[in-house]
Amino acid sequence: MRYELYYWPTIQGRGEFIRLALEDAGADYVDVARRPRGMAAMMHLMQSAALRHAPFAPPFLRAGERVIAQTASILLYLGPRLGLAPRSEAGRLWVHQLQLTIADWLLEAHDAHHPIGGGLYYEQQKREARRRAAQFRKERLPKFMGYFEDVLDRTGGERIHYAHLSLFQMIAGLRYAFPRAMRRLEARYPLLVELHARVAARPRLAKYLASRRRIAFNRQGIFRHYPELDG
Amino acid sequence: MRYELYYWPTIQGRGEFIRLALEDAGADYVDVARRPRGMAAMMHLMQSAALRHAPFAPPFLRAGERVIAQTASILLYLGPRLGLAPRSEAGRLWVHQLQLTIADWLLEAHDAHHPIGGGLYYEQQKREARRRAAQFRKERLPKFMGYFEDVLDRTGGERIHYAHLSLFQMIAGLRYAFPRAMRRLEARYPLLVELHARVAARPRLAKYLASRRRIAFNRQGIFRHYPELDG
């Protein structure tokens, strides 16, 4: 089946967690909004009155007749179909639970630069962002890193699943956004650092990451580098 | 099976979304942390080195040998077992997608009073909260209400599922936290208002809501009433 991914065409954002799974599996997919007239197609489908199950926001995936939204939900659907999830129901729910905790972490990384709201520019909430980013660096970043380090420790030897790919993306994004904070912290989390390197070296992903399909990190995305937020 | 729910004992919070499903189904469950020495039992299980699949935070559910965390993931597991989810895989994933969007909405309702971080008191982020709450009331609240009103319109006649119970809880919580904003808004969303009343009148839930098992809304919870944040 050819999957259609719908997501904003100029950022990695939440769509990247899905792209990584599709790319790693060598799946047949189209990144619709990056094609000519793709944005119009995305907006059209999202607002289509004919859709019984309408998405709240991108990303969403069209798989045959189905349209599925919410990053973690899309990965719950794709995981077993791409060979990137455990076979048992318990194992799948566990990986999904990890993905939901990654989603919480990602949102906090976003809100570090947008603590007041997505409807305002960064420049309109710079002062508040300084305070929130300090909290994020000192309290939340070590808490999430510590949790996932512990998860990797308890579940060592597991086959790579989609939440591992998402953890790679978290480390990559955090290194871009908070290079100083990450340099200070990383030595404490060797399993996360090792996982990041291992995922990046997977043959299909290595190719993808070096290709033009991988959008560069930038200041429109979820991970943003503002030196004043990096302590 | 007797389920064990683990959640903070003095607030509705995220745990309430699970309590509502368990209560509506008349399920056999224990609200562990509300029993004598229950908090110690919760912290002990959460930090247990013997657990392969450890939770990041409450709520979590023990079902036999399994420990499942993340509200939406717990409901994904419980839904079919409690008769509160569709039969088909597509239907279940759809209800789960709704639940994830409700989780996003809930977090924004929380961050309206805690825009800088959960590690600080409200009083330490009061100024920022005013700005964020204004954004929430003007932009986000109508956006989410409009989305779910539209969902109810497109899927009218569906059997009650757990995401409907969660929508009841959203309306109840928002009425407590933002009574003025909600009075102004509600007339535009008659299907949500009707759903709230219909869920509240379900016999087991009506009993539960009138019982002492329903913790009152309060200023330690996710929904908080601060008149200065209500416009």
Query: What CATH number does residue B47 fall under?
Result: 3.40.30.10
Judged by a CB distance cut-off of 8 A, whether residue A150 touches chain B is yes
CB contact under 8 A, A54 and B150: yes
- Identity of the residue in A56, A101, A128 whose CB atom sits nearest the CB atom of B115: A128
Mean pLDDT of B146-175: 97
- The number of distinct structural domains making up chain B is 2
A186 is in which domain, residue-wise? 89-202
Tell whether B65 and B148 lie within a shared domain. Answer: no
Does residue B229 sit within a domain? no
Tell whether B57 and B99 lie within a shared domain. Answer: no
Does residue A23 sit within a domain? no
CATH number at residue A170: 1.20.1050.10
Tell whether B46 and B28 lie within a shared domain. Answer: yes
Chain A residues whose CB is inside 8 A of the B55 CB are 97
Tell whether B104 and B77 lie within a shared domain. Answer: no
State the Rg of chain A over Cα: 18
> CA-CA distances (angstroms) from residue A205 to A12, A20, A194?
15, 7, 16
Tell whether B98 and B195 lie within a shared domain. Answer: yes
CB contact under 8 A, B135 and A151: no
Tell whether B130 and B190 lie within a shared domain. Answer: yes
Name the token pair of B146.
Answer: 């409009």
Tell whether B110 and B168 lie within a shared domain. Answer: yes
Candidates A53, A98, A121, A138: best to mutate against B (most CBs of B within 10 A) is: A53
Does residue B216 sit within a domain? no
Tell whether B148 and B75 lie within a shared domain. Answer: no
Single-letter code of the amino acid located at A10: T
What are the backbone angles phi and psi of residue A94, rounded to the nearest 5°?
Answer: -65, -45
Q: Which of B37, B62, B81 is the last residue of a domain?
A: B81
pLDDT at A8: 98
Mean pLDDT of B113-126: 97
Judged by a CB distance cut-off of 8 A, whether residue A86 touches chain B is no
CB contact under 8 A, B131 and A131: no
Mean pLDDT of chain B: 97
What beta strand segments (E) does chain B contain? 3-6, 29-31, 60-63, 66-69
**What stretches in chain A show pLDDT beneath 70?**
none
Which H or E element spans position B75?
helix B71-81
Mean pLDDT of B64-86: 98
Judged by a CB distance cut-off of 8 A, whether residue B97 touches chain A is yes
Q: How confident is the model at residue B157 (pLDDT cuts 50, 70, 90)?
A: confident
Read off the DSSP letter of residue B140: I
Chain B residues whose CB is inside 8 A of the A152 CB are none
Give the CA angle between residues B138, B144, B147 to the nearest 5°.
130
What are the backbone angles phi and psi of residue B2, rounded to the nearest 5°?
Answer: -90, 115
* Closest approach of B23 to chain A, Cα-based (Å): 23
Does residue B215 sit within a domain? no
Chain A residues whose CB is inside 8 A of the B132 CB are 115-117
Does residue A224 sit within a domain? no
* Closest approach of B210 to chain A, Cα-based (Å): 33
Does residue B29 sit within a domain? yes
Task: Give the CA dihedral A73, A76, A81, A86, nearest 10 degrees.
Answer: 170
Helix axes A71-81, A162-177, angle to 10 degrees: 140
* Closest approach of A84 to chain B, Cα-based (Å): 18
pTM for this one?
0.98
Distance in angstroms (rounded) separating the CA atoms of residues B26 and B20: 10
* Closest approach of A172 to chain B, Cα-based (Å): 22
Mean pLDDT of B179-202: 98
Model pLDDT for residues B215-225, shown as the tens digit of each residue: 999 999 999 99
Nearest CA in chain B to A48: B154
Tell whether B176 and B128 lie within a shared domain. Answer: yes
CB contact under 8 A, A139 and B119: yes
Judged by a CB distance cut-off of 8 A, whether residue A104 touches chain B is yes
Tell whether B22 and B125 lie within a shared domain. Answer: no
Distance in angstroms (rounded) separating the CA atoms of residues B80 and B83: 5
Residue with tokens 């508040």: A128
Tell whether B33 and B108 lie within a shared domain. Answer: no
pLDDT above 90 (res B168): yes
Q: Which of B42, B57, B81 is the last residue of a domain?
A: B81
Chain A residues whose CB is inside 8 A of the B135 CB are 116-117, 119-120
Tell whether B99 and B193 lie within a shared domain. Answer: yes
- Identity of the residue in B54, B100, B120 whose CB atom sits nearest the CB atom of A150: B54
Biggest CA-to-CA distance, chain A: 52
Mean pLDDT of B136-164: 97
Residue A118 CB contacts under 8 Å (≥ 6 apart), including other chains: none
User: Cis peptide before A59, with omega less than 30 degrees from 0?
Assistant: yes
Portion of chain A with pLDDT greater than 70, in percent: 100
Does residue B222 sit within a domain? no
Give the CA angle between residues A192, A83, A34 to the nearest 5°.
80
Nearest CA in chain B to A70: B97
Mean pLDDT of chain A: 97
- Identity of the residue in A116, A139, A147 whose CB atom sits nearest the CB atom of B56: A147
CB contact under 8 A, A56 and B93: no
Q: How confident is the model at residue B153 (pLDDT cuts 50, 70, 90)?
A: very high
- Identity of the residue in A55, A93, A116 whose CB atom sits nearest the CB atom of B132: A116
Does residue B75 sit within a domain? yes
